[in-house]
Amino acid sequence: MKPLPPGATGGVAINVNQANRLLTPENGNHLRSAPVVFGMEIRGGLDAAVLEASLAHVARAHTSLRTFFPEPRTGGYLVPAGQAGWPVRRIDLTTLAGPARKPAEDHHLSWLFAAFEPDAYPLHRALLLRYGTHHLLGVAVDHLIFDGMSIEPFMDDVATAYNSIENGEPVTLTGSDAAGFATLEREFIQSADGRRATEYWWDIWRATGPYPKVTFTGRTAHQDPAAGQPAHRARPISMKSINALREELGGRHYSVFCLVATALMLGLRDATGRGECGIIIPSSRRAYAKSSGHTIGFLNNKLVLRADLAGARDFAAAAEIVSDALFGSMEHEMMPFEHLVNLWAPEYRGQRPDHAYISLNLQQKPIRRALGGAEAIEVLLREGGSLGGSGIPMWIECGDESVCIDYKCPAAVRAGDVDDVLARALAAFS
């Protein structure tokens, strides 16, 4: 074990989804997972020293950002709040212009994407690139302690701390205790509600398993052999189209998520020839946390959404089936996915399958916050100019939200097959 920071204490509870990410199934060693990486484009006057001080305040306020894992089998360790910080690597690219800028930018940004060693604090890093009067702040946090839903409260807290310091006021942040959520989760698993949830998920998993397998019937009409890429990688959908579809459904007020899930599962049914379809959907579980939506940590959960659409004659019938299935899944969202993996599919502990499956994620539009006289806008940072990973992400912009259809698959699955499912799903909104 590496030397501990002075005053670090052990015994910090972690939730089941964290535990399975932390340990590999073979020998219990640390799992080096990819970090959550995002950026803040900052336009206007910025005080870099105030920004770094603001990041330190955020790190002190949330227990997840003070946690590391020198002994993963016994949970996490916590550094004292006074020792928590968020060092910022500052790089000035103002003098670089034209073709020389991008290679330098890519070189520095690549540092953000390096995997963390969970047994060393801190499990976060930051990079501040300066371009004359505007800046790009790149942030990376180990996925063990931070999920996508943590980005908004993070930006809220950075803005609150920055503006307080600039105005000469005390910094007051709400903070959150991810360890407290882990304790709540453990109590839920052992409760009567937990037993009912286990029974519900067994009924779902015995038909689909944890990752519902997608098997295509053959080459599709939407394959583009020349480009080798989907022709429908992204297609905007207006709220006018969404509302028109709702009117066709008799005025039913289905959520955007439900409508897109229905379209996607109908596309899967028609592309695969299987009436019973399953996809992975996300759950933030923040409604159960004491600090609710302001929690920073790894609380995210996976849910299996299963629906039998074999007898659905039209979109209206399918939407009613998917809506009922969606309500059932969300009612039992507190049960950790990885707890069920431990019970029924230990071969998937800490890893994903090698077969194709589809996950559907709901993403908000870029977050904007004021930093003094400057404006910070959330931006997506890509490693090496790509989205990374083995999946083919596809986005449908929809009003104030974006729906991301994220296809996880081995390399053997053709992009045209993916494109076929998306094209069928998009047809429902045209």
* Residues 27 and 116 occupy one common structural domain: yes
Provide the pLDDT confidence category of residue 108 given band limits of 50, 70 and 90.
Answer: very high
Alpha carbon 315 to chain centroid, angstroms:
29
Helix extents (H) in 273-349: 315-331, 337-344
DSSP state of 411: T
Q: Is residue 51 part of a domain?
A: yes
DSSP string of 232-293?
TSB--B-HHHHHHHHHHTTT----HHHHHHHHHHHHHHHHH--SEEEEEEEE--GGGSTTGG
**What is the pLDDT, as a whole number, of residue 403?**
67
* Residues 235 and 116 occupy one common structural domain: no
CATH at residue 334:
3.30.559.30
User: Mean pLDDT throughout 16-32?
Assistant: 65
CATH at residue 74:
3.30.559.10
Bridge partners for 129 per DSSP: 91, 136
Could you give the percent of the chain with pLDDT greater than 70? Answer: 83
Three-class secondary structure assignment of 184-224: HHHHHHCCHHHHHHHHHHHHHHHHHCCCCCCCCCCCCCCCC
* Residues 260 and 339 occupy one common structural domain: yes
* Residues 171 and 231 occupy one common structural domain: no
**What is the pLDDT, as a whole number, of residue 373?**
92
Which tokens hold the place of 313?
């004659």
As a whole number, the mean pLDDT across the chain is 84
> CB burial class (10 A; 0-12, 13-18, 19+) of residue 26?
exposed
**What is the pLDDT, as a whole number, of residue 246?**
87
Enclosing H/E stretch for 368: strand 368-371
User: Mean pLDDT throughout 134-162?
Assistant: 95
User: Mean pLDDT throughout 134-146?
Assistant: 95
* Residues 126 and 215 occupy one common structural domain: no
Cβ atoms < 10 Å from Cβ of 406: 18
User: Mean pLDDT throughout 385-411?
Assistant: 54
The winner for highest mean pLDDT among 179-193, 209-223, 386-400 is 179-193
Three-class secondary structure assignment of 80-146: CHHHCCCCEEEEECCCCCHHHHHHHHHHHHHHHHCCCCCCCCCCEEEEEEEECCEEEEEEEEECCCC
Domain final residue, candidates 124, 157, 180: 180
What does the alpha-carbon distance between residue 36 and residue 124 come to, in Å, rounded to a whole number?
Answer: 9
Residue 192 pLDDT > 70: yes
What does the alpha-carbon distance between residue 73 and residue 143 come to, in Å, rounded to a whole number?
Answer: 18
Q: Is residue 89 part of a domain?
A: yes
What does the alpha-carbon distance between residue 290 and residue 98 come to, in Å, rounded to a whole number?
Answer: 49
Cβ atoms < 10 Å from Cβ of 86: 22
- Check if the beta carbon of residue 289 is closer than 8 Å to that of residue 181: yes
**Is the pTM here over 0.85, yes or no?**
yes
Enclosing H/E stretch for 408: strand 401-408
What does the alpha-carbon distance between residue 197 and residue 329 come to, in Å, rounded to a whole number?
Answer: 9
Q: Is residue 65 part of a domain?
A: yes
Could you give the percent of the chain with pLDDT greater than 90? Answer: 53
User: Mean pLDDT throughout 169-187?
Assistant: 93
**What is the pLDDT, as a whole number, of residue 427?**
81
* Residues 32 and 134 occupy one common structural domain: yes
Residue 221 pLDDT > 50: no
Provide the pLDDT confidence category of residue 391 given band limits of 50, 70 and 90.
Answer: very low
* Residues 176 and 250 occupy one common structural domain: no
The one-letter amino acid at 410 = P
* Residues 209 and 176 occupy one common structural domain: no
**Digit-coded pLDDT (tens) for 81-100:** 999 999 999 999 999 988 88
Full domain range(s) for residue 23: 9-180
Domain final residue, candidates 147, 180, 213: 180
Stronger pLDDT, 260 or 162, i.e. the higher one: 162
* Residues 343 and 401 occupy one common structural domain: yes
Q: Is residue 374 part of a domain?
A: no
**What is the pLDDT, as a whole number, of residue 231?**
40
Enclosing H/E stretch for 17: helix 16-22
- Those residues whose C-beta lies under 8 Å from the C-beta of residue 129, and which sit 6 or more positions away, are 91, 93, 105, 108, 109, 135, 136, 137, 138
Q: Is residue 4 part of a domain?
A: no
Provide the pLDDT confidence category of residue 184 given band limits of 50, 70 and 90.
Answer: very high
Stronger pLDDT, 317 or 230, i.e. the higher one: 317
- Compute φ and ψ for 43, nearest 5 degrees: -115, 130
* Residues 152 and 215 occupy one common structural domain: no
Q: Is residue 232 part of a domain?
A: yes
DSSP string of 147-198?
-GGGHHHHHHHHHHHHHHHHTT-------B-HHHHHHHHHHHHTSHHHHHHH
* Residues 409 and 268 occupy one common structural domain: yes
Q: Is residue 373 part of a domain?
A: no
Provide the pLDDT confidence category of residue 292 given band limits of 50, 70 and 90.
Answer: low
Provide the pLDDT confidence category of residue 102 given band limits of 50, 70 and 90.
Answer: confident
What does the alpha-carbon distance between residue 55 and residue 127 come to, in Å, rounded to a whole number?
Answer: 12
Which tokens hold the place of 144?
């063990």
Q: Is residue 375 part of a domain?
A: no
Report the domain count for the chain: 2
**What is the pLDDT, as a whole number, of residue 287?**
86
**Digit-coded pLDDT (tens) for 337-356:** 999 999 999 988 877 787 87
**Digit-coded pLDDT (tens) for 306-346:** 999 999 999 999 999 999 999 999 999 999 999 999 999 99
Q: Which residue has the tokens 């599709």?
A: 220
Domain final residue, candidates 180, 215, 233: 180
237: left (phi over 0), alpha (psi -120 to 50) or beta: beta
What does the alpha-carbon distance between residue 386 and residue 404 come to, in Å, rounded to a whole number?
Answer: 16
* Residues 169 and 197 occupy one common structural domain: no
Query: Among 23-37, 214-228, 312-326, 402-416, whose mean pLDDT is lowest?
Result: 214-228
